[in-house]
Amino acid sequence: MAVVVKNSVSKNIGTTEQNIISTTVSSKITVIGLSLTNILDTIVYVDVIVKDNTSNIESFYLKDTMVPTGTSLRAVSTGEKLVLDQNNTMKIKSSVANSIDVIASYAEIV
């Protein structure tokens, strides 16, 4: 079993859900950092959703969380972890088009 540390960088996330990280049938991921930055001059609200693609069930990790103008939200930080099991996807969407930049740091177990 190998562990590989990676990151995922996404720009201009808006009102359509965007896949940030996905696992396969043979991998698991531990998210060790998740930063969501508001790049607009207005308050936006973000959702972070985890989907189990096997059962097709989605759950909110964050829902309608406010990110003030020009600030970053550290959704996973300071020792907190978010585990994505096999066949899971983490998705993010915002209340405003082209408003959020995302950096996710994670350890993938393959």
Quote the pLDDT of residue 1.
Answer: 75
The alpha carbon dihedral of 72, 100, 36, 73 has a sign of positive
What is the Cα–Cα distance from 27 to 39, expressed in whole angstroms?
A: 33
Quote the pLDDT of residue 92.
Answer: 98
What is the Cα–Cα distance from 54 to 104, expressed in whole angstroms?
A: 23
Find out if CATH 2.60.120.340 is the number for domain 3-109.
Answer: yes
Quote the pLDDT of residue 28.
Answer: 95
Quote the pLDDT of residue 110.
Answer: 78
> Domain spans of the chain?
3-109
pTM of the model: 0.93
Quote the pLDDT of residue 30.
Answer: 97
In order along its 110 residues, the chain shows pLDDT tens digits of: 789 999 999 999 999 999 999 999 999 999 999 999 999 999 999 999 999 999 999 999 999 999 999 999 999 988 889 999 999 999 999 999 999 999 999 999 87
What is the Cα–Cα distance from 90 to 36, expressed in whole angstroms?
A: 13
